[in-house]
Structures are given as structure tokens and as C-alpha cells.
Amino acid sequence: MKLEPGIAAVISGAASGLGEATARRLASHGVKVAIFDKNADAGKAVAADIGGIFCDVDVTDPASVEAGFVAARAAHGQERIAISCAGVGWAAKTVDREGKAHSADMFRTTIMINLVGTFHIASMAAAGMSTAEPVSADGERGVIINTASVAAYDGQIGQIAYAASKGGVVGMTLPMARDLSRAGIRVNTIAPGLFLTPMLRGLPQEAQDSLGAQAPFPSRLGDPAEYADLAAFMCTNAMINGEVVRLDGAIRMAPK
């Protein structure tokens, strides 16, 4: 698929971090971007800056997601690109030092945002894409890109909920790609390592440097623009389908 004017995209979590970088990258090619987020101030600012629109969307709520797609399609037409970057990550052990069990609410919320929210975006985008006219000689109608994490493979102590949610995203990538192959819709997932997102940007520089040094090469935190580069490449290369790509500088996370 060509990234060009006339193509529409929906990106969740695009008010900041990986999603914002990707929104800016696609918009630089003339793609019309709809930003799905709960941070209205930041989301509206990014949308205004790139000539897109902001939709106040709670990815855990199917009705909210559906309303977002209705608004996005009314403004830009049928999206051909759907990217999920909305996510949360809290630290908690299965049982803490005092013998208290992991919060069920925290676990449930993490799964709902990171996994179920990703499913909502992907499934509703696919429903719209599947009846649209193809945009390439291959019969491609759209591309869906999900965001997992290296925690899906080597989750650290305290990442029970986060690793479970991201493992679920990895697990649904191939069957979703197979499901949607008959409609000409590709599905891929990016599994980032340690990136300089707002969560890490709030840490002291010494802590940022220490985390970045864990990556063999380059020994630094990833730049969200590098995530955006891979997302853009996945959009344009039709043979990348059903794939999960680690974007991590060869890092393998230690237990803690």
C-alpha cells in the first residue's frame, strides 16, 4: 500500500509516544490520520499540528470505539491503516512481600486496555476495510498493526499483567492475519523493547541511560520515530503479513 494523500489511518494512543510519532510519520506522506485517545488536550494538539482529527475514544468500550470509527470515517473516509498504540503498564508481583495477591482490578484493567482494546480497534477496522474496494493490484484492502512488547517473550518480575496482555497480542496476530487474508487485509505486530516514551521520559537521565545500556546495540533507549519507521514500512511492504517483529536492539530482558 502506498502512503499517499487519499489514504486514511486510525491510530489509538496517538496523543503521545509511539502513536504520536507514527501519526506524524504517516501525515508527512499526506495520509489523513484520526487520533483515538483519552488525552483530549494532547490529542487535539497533535491532530491540529498534522491536519488530522481527534476522537475521544476509550478502547475498552466497544461503543466508544465504534463511535470513533464513525467520526473518523465521516471526516476522512474508510481507513486503510489501523494501528494500536494505546497501552498501560503497572508493576506488581503475583504475591508481594507481605503475602498480598496481585490486584485483580489492575490485572483486568491491563488486559482490557492492552489486549481487548487492541482487538476492538483491529476487528472494527477490519469490518470496514473488508467491504471497501482494493487499493492495489494484489487486492489489498488494508493493513492492521498492533503493538506488543518484548515483555511478551521475556517479561520481568512485576510484569505479570503487562506480559500477559502483550503475549495475547502476539498470540492473536497470526490467526487474525489468516482470518483476514481472504479480504486482502494484512495484520502485523511490533514488539518494542525500551523506548523513550512519556513513561520513561519522566525518569532521571541517569536511570534512562542505565536502561538504555541494557540493549546490546545500539545501547540506548529507542526513539519513537524508529517505531514509526517500522510501522510505515509494514504499511508499504505487502509481503509482511502475520508477523511479529521485535524492535529492541537485541535486548533480552533480565528477570529484574
User: Looking at the annotation, which residues are catalytic?
Assistant: 162
What is the SS3 string spanning the chain? CCCCCCCEEEEECCCCHHHHHHHHHHHCCCCEEEEEECCHHHHHHHHHHHCCEEEECCCCCHHHHHHHHHHHHHHHCCCCEEEECCCCCCCECCECCCCCECCHHHHHHHHHHHHHHHHHHHHHHHHHHCCCCCCCCCCCCEEEEEECCCHHHHCCCCEHHHHHHHHHHHHHHHHHHHHHHHHCEEEEEEEECCECCHHHHCCCHHHHHHHHCCCCCCCCCECHHHHHHHHHHHHHCCCCCCCEEEECCCCCCCCC
CA 236, chain centre distance (Å): 17
Beta bridge partners of 61: none
